[in-house]
Amino acid sequence: MAAEEHGDTSFVPDLIRTPLPDGVRLVFTCRTHRRFRLNPPPEANHIELHPFSLAETTNHLRRFYPQATDAEAAEFAFLTSCNPRVQALALSRKLTIDEMLKELGPAPSTVDRALGELLQHAIDKLKDRVGHVESAQIDLICQALAVLRPLVPIAVLAQISGTPESAVRSFAFDLGRPLLVKGNSLHFLDEPAETWFREQFKPAPTNLATFLQRLRPLAASSSYVASTLPQLLLAAGLMDELIELTLSEDGLPTSNALERRDVEVQRLTFALKACLQRGQYAAAAKLALKAGGEAAGEARQTRLIQDNTDIAAALLSPDRIDELVSRRTFGASWMGAHHAYDAGLLSGRNEFMPEARSRLRMALDWLYAWARQPAKERENEWIEDADRAELAMAHLLALGPGEAARFLSNWKPRHIALPASKRLARRLLDLGRYEQLPQAVQCRAGRGNRVDTHIAGRCGHGRYVGGIASHLDR
């Protein structure tokens, strides 16, 4: 649906018809009335996911209302059509059981209608509580959520609606499900709610220009807005402005070269689509050449960030870090490696530390799964020294130097950890974290002996920094 909206094609119809090896199956999920969008082959098996049974609905209800009677459970099942998503949304309102059943009643409705009515009722209650002026601001927040791509920075929503960031957070917390506050950004928990917001609040292409007037001034200060603007200009049909913007340097981030390149790539991509749609093939060819060069540069830039996540975390803005992680930008030869580099990047900022620990845990789960495989199955997936160093750095920043040393010490044979510990030491020197080096590189070898202790000890006193780097090289 997103691809169609932007005049593009999706990979899903090709993937569903791709020949697969024996014993391999792909599972695609979608809402029942959208199965035709997948364009499945005739031999595909269609498996319907059934609603909750009455017993399952009763258990679900009593998790929130332990004293609910069988009659109330039966009414709840009837009014929600036993749909788990409708039930979850209704239960998230934290009303009394009588008020909740009254909101759902008096008759059951379709899933889409039930979701829409619950969301509309929640927004109407918020508007009624805050008054006429703030009601208009809530409309602007909803409009921005319907138009902008996830993850939407709270600061951008605040500027568009003319409200403090605290007011945007209050709106999200008051609305509850389906909005999730993730750090300094908002995103939807599920697709039906996002679809409802888009259907209710997204301006038509002819009215999108009014929304863009509010958005344009923010491009100079927000790399998120600057990279989102080309897509919206294309959607609004403002082709000339998009091409002119691409050929100029107006609104490009000036303080950060990494963010500047990302915005340029977005502009070139959507300007190229605009030229193709209008049949301007000569201009499209020139833009394609330029886009190819920028894309190659972006690939090198991504590699540079992946190799230096600790420094990149200090240089990049929080919303740019969030976007890099949500795109799954990084990776290596083993499955799940992107979690390691995501953890390394996130752990460089205090505001992302809880998510960094979660990503690190997932990376270790994948690592242990890899280690349990037979040697033959690991031939195409190998853990590099850079991967070990990245995991050690994430341990150090998220859990402390002792955990980093413990992680490195667990590798067998012991000498495997030495190149990774040297990389880690270099990175700590680059960051000026001399006080953490003694604990981080003390990898235990044998019975109580330590590797590189003399190096770390000197560095701990802040001396011989230049000599240590050359010693590590030897």
Answer yes or no: is pLDDT of 222 > 50.
Answer: yes
Across 10-24, 146-160, 219-233, 255-269, least confident range: 255-269
Average pLDDT of 2-16?
Answer: 81
Answer yes or no: is pLDDT of 17 > 70.
Answer: yes
DSSP 452-468: SHHHHHHHHTT--HHHH
Are 401 and 439 in contact by the 8 Å Cβ rule? The answer is yes
Query: How far is residue 168's CA from residue 155's CA, in Å, rounded to a whole number?
Result: 9
Are 403 and 436 in contact by the 8 Å Cβ rule? The answer is no
Please, is 342 exposed, middle or buried when counting C-beta atoms within 10 Å of its C-beta (0-12, 13-18, 19+)? buried
For residue 452, what pLDDT band results from cuts at 50, 70 and 90? very low
Is pTM beyond 0.85 here? Answer: no
Site of tokens 């003399």: 454
Answer yes or no: is pLDDT of 176 > 80.
Answer: no
Are 271 and 246 in contact by the 8 Å Cβ rule? The answer is yes
For residue 338, what pLDDT band results from cuts at 50, 70 and 90? very high
Most confident of 160-164, 267-271, 395-399: 395-399
Most confident of 67-71, 78-82, 183-187: 67-71
pLDDT given for residue 6 in this prediction: 66
The CA distances from residue 4 to 7, 8, 9, 199, 235, in Å, are: 5, 5, 6, 15, 11
Q: How many Cβ atoms are within 10 Å of 361's Cβ, its own excluded? A: 12
pLDDT given for residue 173 in this prediction: 79
pLDDT given for residue 438 in this prediction: 66
Q: What is the pLDDT of residues 258-310, one digit of tens each?
A: 677 778 888 888 888 888 877 888 888 888 888 888 788 878 888 888 998 98
pLDDT given for residue 127 in this prediction: 72
pLDDT given for residue 339 in this prediction: 93
pLDDT given for residue 389 in this prediction: 92
Average pLDDT of 314-339?
Answer: 84
For residue 458, what pLDDT band results from cuts at 50, 70 and 90? very low
Query: How far is residue 256's CA from residue 349's CA, in Å, rounded to a whole number?
Result: 17
